[in-house]
A = this chain, B = another copy of it.
């Protein structure tokens, strides 16, 4: 499938059919994840693939508690009302996903093995170490989701679980040094893939100086 067509239609899927996902497809998706750029090529990602009903239910319970906690703690000072983001529908769909998470055929918990993060955790390096846990794994998460879309499978990037990471780690016996990065439900979507609506890139593009909308070649 054409790469631009895949990216243009890679919507966040929050309602899944119950049809099972082929194991070969899961393996192809995870292989695509490993092609992503990552810090010092340490390939420090780990993929916890959950297709067992009891384990999905246990993770979904932690996810619901995390989501509800986040919803209560959200900053009302930072609320926004941009009609282009269709926020009311997004929250409704997000609530649906929360309530039905274990019904997705597969949940993939992407983790960072922090013991493979080469940066020191001490002193001035601490913040750079922290961000390295994300910059070394999120490109793989995006490859995973793109590969899924190319195979007709829907995904949704969720991070709410991270607020109660310890409980999630207990469910699947993750070692202490693992950082949970994203929980991604995987399955065939209820609705067909459609093109995304986005604010035009040019509204977020600056040339050479903040706020300059004119490329130097055209100056």
Contacts and interface: CB of A to CB of B under 8 A. Distances in A.
Given A30-B205, A134-B134, A87 B47 contact: no
B3 A6 contact: yes
A201 B33 contact: yes
Contacts of A217: 20, 23, 51
A35 B2 contact: no
16 contacts: A2-B3, A30-B201, A30-B205, A31-B198, A40-B85, A41-B85, A45-B204, A47-B206, A49-B215, A55-B209, A75-B120, A131-B134, A134-B134, A134-B138, A135-B182, A174-B210
A124 B165 CA distance: 13
B174 A204 contact: no
Given A125-B73, A130-B130, A138-B142, A202 B27 contact: yes
A173 B117 CA distance: 32
Interface string A55-99: 100000000000000100111011110000111001000000000
Interface of A: 1-4, 6-8, 10, 12, 20, 23, 27-28, 30-37, 39-43, 45-52, 55, 70, 73-75, 77-80, 85-87, 90, 116-120, 124-125, 128, 130-132, 134-135, 138-139, 141-143, 145-147, 150, 156-157, 159, 162-163, 172-175, 178, 181-182, 196, 198-202, 204-211, 215-218
Given A51-B215, A139-B142, A202-B27, A210 B131 contact: no
